[in-house]
Structure 1
Amino acid sequence: MFGRAALALAILPSLAGFSFAAEDGRTIQIIVSRAKQSLTVYDDGKIIATSKVSTGKPGHDTPTGIFSILEKRKYHESNIYSNAPMPWMQRLTWSGIALHEGKVPSYPASHGCVRLPSGFAKTLFSMTERGAHVIIADEDVAPVVVRHPFLFQPTTDVQILSDVPLRPSKKTTGPVELAMNNPDRSLLVPKPEPLVRTPEESQPLRILITRRGDRELVADVQTMLTELGFDAGVPDGFAGEMTRSAISGFKRWKNLPSKGTLISKEMLAALYAAAGREPAPQGQLYIRQGFKEVLSTPVAIRDPERELGTYLYTVADIDPKNGQAVWQAIGLRNELSDGTRKRLGIAPEASVLEATGQSVLDRIEIPTRIRTKINDMLTEGTSITITDNGVSPETAPQGTDFITLTR
């Protein structure tokens, strides 16, 4: 703890009154502003370091969005640009975007990476862990504390004594047992000690809530076809040869046109009816932990014709005694094209960016069993990304957190 705090104070002496609670780096957030050519490091919502940077020049723009540190190397050479040296490299995408030491002329000059001054690059490297969030935005953004019933809270580790009325005891001697209702938490009865989590199970959850796309629809079709006796293969969301063959067989069974769109609205309606299912809701919730997929399930989005926007919510701190998580929000500007709006069924209205996205949280409904599961797994550094943009192509099946591109 002292080493981490001393390191931060060496960078920003004016922050000498701050305390640093996140010894393991799970609550570190790095925010890069392309407009200001600056980088700010937050820990538990507090600024602990700042630096100037150089982002991508015209023709080699640095993408904006929500990233995580995927890989760290003290020395790396570019696989794209003539083995250019990239000391203190912290990878953000497998397609070539990273934080690293380089020339920083106070204006955009890189080929897409975020260049850092030499001394600061080494310092930042020592402060982070794989999985730490990096937010790259056009404007200067900062985390804001947000409270909302939608946001998950940890399962409490205490039980309050029953609210049973006092009863007279027939005993006249010896100890008397009383049921008490007292707000003093010192009288709370602790639950049994929870099971010890493995290092992987202690990793923060990465939760993505977005609109269902073609892959989720195809996975549903594969599952229902298999249930009906058609071998559609593994429900992976990709319409391969086995899936296409199963769809053709179903269409013959229901006397549906074999030509035209592979998965038509008519075919879907017939399939849901045959499987005895209601159509899935508009949203999908994904969970990863330690760069590995944990869960994928449909969720409801009310008023789906309205844009969600892009927001990141992060647990900055947890008080396990009181069962309270402190959530912080960052809103990112995300302009959708007319074509994207039409494809997603979003009304062509102006984008609205809120500081904390409270109205967006009001529109998402998560099944109780899923909420309970997440509450039980909640740790500091757990994050929720809400976006219209779906699962980015930069999000690999394994080996990344969810990467959300806003440009």
Structure 2
Amino acid sequence: MAVGIFPKASVFFVFWEWGIMLRLPRCSELSRIVFRSGAVPTAFLSAGLIAAPPAAAQGASSLLTKPDPLKIVVSLEKQHMYVYRGTERVFTSRVSTGKRGYSTPAGVYSILEKRRWHRSNIYNNAPMPFMQRLTWSGIALHASGHVPRYPASHGCIRLPRGSASTLFKKTDVGGHVIVTRGETTPHRIKHDKLLQPQPLDLVTMDARKALKKRLAYEEGNLVSIALPAPADRARKYASLTRPQDKTVMTDATNAPEPMSAKEGALLMADLEHDMHRLESYIARSEEPVRILITKRLGRERIRDVQMLLRELGYDPGPIDGFMGRLTGAAIQEYQEDKGLKATGAFSEELRDKLFLDARGEPAPTGHLYVRQGFKQVFDAPVRLKNPDEPLGTHVYFSQSFAPTDEQTQWLALTTEEAPGVDANAALDRVSIPRILRDRLERMLTPGSSMIISDAGLGRETGRGTDFVVQP
């Protein structure tokens, strides 16, 4: 890849292999990535053939890194709030949470909305200055003139006016608020199950490395395809655009080398895959990614049964996770065919047998959900070791990182303990398929988070929220 820059222009151009050109804004994040990834040949710069990158693009990666996101921890037992940036406590305040009959639920929340001036639409139009909404059902952080050192609210988290004003200025929509029964603090954690970012150079170059290892099916045998060096590939690609040229020249022998249709197709596939990954990277959302890993819930298990029945040739009706008439009839038909007791009812034994029959593997025991920008993105099955044993609830926070970084630091915070299961032990029990992990790492942005919990999706999780987990 080479880069051409017009010194006084607002754009510069990236010339990809084989003449593909991208037009990039001069001050965009991607333009800085191109320079920082070493894509500009030093000889071009020294010869004056292209302009030097802007000073802002030459700075240290710390200049491109946002401050670590804030984490707000509210202790119901202490009636106190603690605000952290990284592991440093940067602000504290007394609070007053929900009184008996209106208890503030412990859980993992995000700030959904901020309003400097707000009035309650539930409790007599009561004023709620510096309101920061945690649920759409009525729980929020807000200022109050009555903040005793005991629970006194109707479910909200009251703060003194000065504290509420200070906090309001520091927070962003989407920031995490953790409400715990006791007291907990974030700590640094390293674990191979934690995701790491894939910067632009890894995203694009991985495609080329993967293609070199690709296996093609030929004459009934799996054979390895050895691709030519990039310089040869460029000449070969050029020959594809000139049908009259049946051969290309090699540097080693200066003799014609035939190019098969298969090799040409592989070269084109390589290019298309490279560009697709680059375009996906450019178009990705910059919002923090929210991940929840929990035990496989009832509805997902019924969906498993419906999907597997369909794979085996039965008609379970819609794949919707509900036990309807068609699903029951399909189960009964399958049971009769297998010589089982024909109950037409769902059971874990039935689900396990269907997975073995349809896919030759055990049934998944966990599920992973992904949200971003308060919207559901996708979900997928994963495996949990010892799924019948408690997990507790653990939150993992990605710290800030620069666009070219290949690693980020993580913090962990346990909100609900399970016997013998700390944040490391919970990660030990999770197994994420490589293809799924790769997708998540390409999505990863600074400030992303992951929750591992027994609790599953809280009833407050829905449209316009991150995950609301209430153990």
The TM-score, its normalising length taken from structure 1, stands at 0.73
Deviation, 1:208, is 0.8
Residue number in structure 2 paired with 1:365: 431
Match of 1:54 among 77, 80, 96: 96
Aligned residue for 2:387, secondary structure, equals: coil
Gaps of 5+ in 1: 1-19, 161-190, 336-350
Cα 1:305/1:273, change in 2 over 3 Å = closer
Residue 394 of structure 1 aligns with which residue? 460
Report the Cα offset of residue 74 of structure 1.
2.9
Give 2:105's aligned residue: 63
- Write the letter of the residue equivalent to 2:469: T
Distance 1:113 1:198, change over 3 A: farther
Aligned AA (2:101): G
1:27 aligns to 2:62 (yes or no): no
Per-residue CA deviations over 1:111-144 (Å, capped at 9, x if unaligned) read: 1110112232233223222221100112222211
Give the secondary structure class of the aligned counterpart of 1:124. helix
Q: Distance in 2 between matches of 1:22 and 1:46?
A: 21
Which among 326, 334, 353 is matched to residue 409 of structure 2? 326
Q: Once the 2 structures are TM-superposed, how far is the Cα of residue 53 of structure 1 from its aligned partner?
A: 0.9
Aligned to 1:227: 311
Separation in 1, partners of 2:106, 2:148: 20
Match of 2:297 in 1: 213
Structure 1 counterpart of 2:79, which letter?
A: Q
Hey, which of these two has a bigger chunk of helix by percent? Answer: 2
Residue in structure 1 matched with residue 469 of structure 2 by the alignment: 404
**Between 59-68 and 46-55, the greater mean CA deviation after superposition:** 46-55
**Conserved in 2, the CA contact under 8 Å of 1:317 and 1:327?**
no
Q: 1: CA distance between counterparts of 2:195 and 2:442?
A: 10
Relative to structure 1, is the Cα distance of residues 317 and 251 closer, same or farther in structure 2, using a 3 angstrom cutoff?
same
Match of 2:449 in 1: 383
What TM-score results when the alignment is normalised by the length of structure 2?
0.64
Question: Secondary structure of 1:125's partner?
Answer: helix
Query: 2:73, 2:177 within 8 Å by CA — same for their partners in 1?
Result: yes
Q: Pick one of 317, 328, 335 that aligns with 2:400.
A: 317
**Equivalent runs, 1:118-267 vs 2, <5 Å:** 118-157=161-200, 195=279, 201-251=285-335, 257=341, 259=343, 262-265=345-348, 267=350
Alignment coverage as a number of residue pairs: 339
The residue type paired with residue 263 of structure 1 is F
Q: How many Å separate the matches in 1 of 2:367 and 2:130?
A: 36
Q: What is the aligned-residue RMSD (CA, Å)?
A: 3.2
**In the alignment, what sits opposite 2:82?**
40
Q: Which shows bigger deviation, 309-318 or 220-229?
A: 220-229
- 1:77 pairs, out of 90, 102, 119, with 119
1:395/1:402 contact within 8 Å kept:
yes
> What amino acid maps onto 1:364 in structure 2?
V
State which drifts further: 143-152 or 45-54.
45-54
**Aligned residue type for 1:294:** V
Partner of 2:420: 352
Contact 1:22-1:44 within 8 A present in 2 as well: no
Distance 1:385 1:143 in 2: 14
- Whole-Å separation in 2 of the counterparts to 1:26 and 1:232: 48
Kept after mapping to 2: 8 A contact 1:26/1:132: no
Distance in structure 1 (CA, Å) of the matches to 2:68 and 2:131:
19
- Identify if the C-alpha distance between structure 1 residues 143 and 269 changes in structure 2 by more than 3 Å, giving closer, same or farther: closer
State the partner residue of 2:386.
Answer: 303
1:348 is aligned to none
Identity of paired residues, percent? 44
Aligned mates of 1:262, 1:77 — CA distance in 2: 50
Residues 141/199 of structure 1: CA separation in 2 closer, same or farther (3 Å cut): farther
Task: Give the aligned residue type for 1:237.
Answer: G
Displacement of 1:235: 2.6
Tell me the distance in 2 between the aligned counterparts of 1:22 and 1:141: 31
Secondary structure of 2:73 counterpart? strand
CA displacement 1:327-347 (0-9 Å, x = unmatched) = 001012346xxxxxxxxxxxx
Q: Are the equivalent residues in 2 in contact too, given 1:26–1:204 (CA < 8 A)?
A: no
Report the CA distance shift for 1:22/1:210 in structure 2 as closer, same or farther (over 3 A). farther
Larger radius of gyration: 2
Amino acid at match of 1:138: R
1:252-276 Cα deviation digits (max 9, x unpaired):
65565555x7203454355335534
Contact 1:101–1:121 under 8 Å retained in 2:
yes
1:121 is paired with a residue whose SS is helix
Give the C-alpha shift of residue 314 in structure 1.
Answer: 0.4
- Shift of residue 393 of structure 1? 1.8
How far the C-alpha of 1:65 sits from its partner, in A, is: 1.4
User: Gaps (5+ residues) in structure 2?
Assistant: 1-61, 206-273
Report Cα offsets for 1:30-57 as digits up to 9, x if no partner.
Answer: 1111222211222233333222111111
- 1:240-290: CA deviations, max 9, x gaps? 45544544554565565555x720345435533553443322111111111
